């Protein structure tokens, strides 16, 4: 049986900054296998990103009991963090790939499609970074998420940055001291210049490690922590409201800070939020199916 005559198989891939996940489904939606690999965000470089995508896919093939040559029969939907960078999508499309068909999109696109069961809607991701994204009437809308520290307001990295900044001000006597500011400074052995040394190589992920500490102290009533979290919640409120203005009638909150942040959001914003129906890999699988339809059932003109 040739690849063209075999029942179609689909693979969805979610390639983010912390890892890459792949899932194989058959035409009936049955999950056949899953695989994981290392970070595949495009900031690690296109070569490494695509290598991790393929590694996750081959792990899913092995889990499904399929030979490695089966990769050429799969219709793939691949979401990668950083596809929106200038020239990234064009370069991806010019690269050879091992699949029967492939579509590359931003990881926010597959997260949105998955969250709403392939229906129109919006998402606000609140994790290390933050971004608002919606698909409405075939159009995509993006709000924020341009990268830390110039953007990603309300994110874990942003919360961590503000916590360290206020702790240093409190150390100087320029702002009120609290349990939070003292604990932050203890992480730097109560030495501001140790904080400076930490800052030089620090990434957004490093700053975001302070977010759980801030959330814990905010829930415990610490005034400085509450101020930071309230300010962050207002930024998330703005993202949700802007997506609503763009026509997204249903909006889901995603990311590691989604659950702890939700109670801090404005009442009108909380009323707009809906539970997620699926994950980003589900969204990637949906795009793989759509792309496969174009390959398997091409339109005949004339």
Span 180-236, pLDDT tens digits: 999 999 999 999 999 999 999 998 889 999 999 999 999 999 999 999 999 999 999
**Of residues 85 and 149, more confidently modeled:** 149
CA distance 180 to 186: 10
pLDDT score at 146: 86
pTM of the model: 0.84
Average pLDDT on 259-274 reads 97
| pLDDT above 80 (res 150) | yes
Instruction: Read off the pLDDT band of 298 (50, 70, 90).
Output: low
Instruction: Read off the pLDDT band of 1 (50, 70, 90).
Output: very low
Q: What confidence tens digit (pLDDT) does each residue in 163-177 have? A: 999 999 999 999 999
Q: Outline which parts of the chain fall under CATH 3.30.420.40.
A: 3-117+278-296, 156-272
Q: Count CB-CB contacts under 10 A for residue 101.
A: 18
CA distance 202 to 287: 36
Query: Architecture of 156-272 per CATH?
Result: 2-Layer Sandwich (3.30)
Q: Count CB-CB contacts under 10 A for residue 24.
A: 25
pLDDT score at 297: 65
Secondary structure E strands in the chain: 9-15, 20-26, 31-37, 74-80, 101-106, 121-126, 130-136, 139-143, 251-254
pLDDT score at 68: 85
Domain 3-117+278-296 coded CATH 3.30.420.40: yes
CA distance 33 to 37: 14
Dihedral of the alpha carbons of 197, 199, 205, 207, in degrees to the nearest 10: 110
């Amino acid at each position: 049986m040739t690849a063209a005559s075999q029942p179609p198989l689909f693979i969805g891939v979610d390639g983010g900054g912390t890892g890459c996940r792949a899932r194989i489904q058959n035409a009936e939606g049955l999950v056949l296998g899953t695989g994981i690999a290392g970070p595949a965000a495009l900031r690690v470089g296109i070569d490494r990103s695509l290598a991790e995508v393929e590694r996750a896919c081959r792990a899913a093939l092995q889990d499904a009991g399929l030979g490695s040559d089966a990769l050429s029969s799969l219709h793939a939907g691949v979401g990668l963090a950083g596809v929106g960078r200038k020239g990234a999508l064009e370069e991806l499309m010019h690269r050879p790939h091992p699949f029967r068909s492939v579509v590359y999109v931003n990881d926010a696109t597959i997260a949105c499609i998955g969250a709403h069961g392939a229906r129109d809607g919006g998402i606000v991701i609140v994790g290390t970074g933050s971004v608002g994204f919606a698909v409405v009437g075939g159009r995509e809308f993006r709000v924020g998420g341009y990268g830390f520290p110039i953007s990603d307001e309300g994110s874990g990295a942003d919360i961590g940055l503000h916590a360290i900044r206020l702790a240093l001000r409190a150390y100087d006597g320029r702002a009120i001291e609290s349990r939070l500011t003292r604990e932050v400074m203890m992480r730097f052995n109560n030495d501001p210049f140790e904080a400076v040394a930490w800052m030089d190589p620090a990434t957004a992920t490093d700053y975001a490690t302070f977010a759980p500490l801030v959330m814990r102290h905010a829930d415990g009533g610490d005034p400085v922590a509450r101020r930071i979290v309230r300010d962050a919640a207002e930024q998330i409120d703005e993202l949700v409201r802007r997506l609503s203005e763009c026509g997204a009638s249903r909006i889901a909150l995603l990311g590691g800070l989604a659950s702890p942040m939700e109670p801090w959001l404005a009442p009108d914003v909380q009323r707009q939020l809906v539970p997620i129906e699926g994950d980003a890999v589900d969204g990637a699988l949906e795009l793989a199916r759509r792309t496969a339809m174009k390959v398997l059932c091409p339109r005949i003109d004339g």
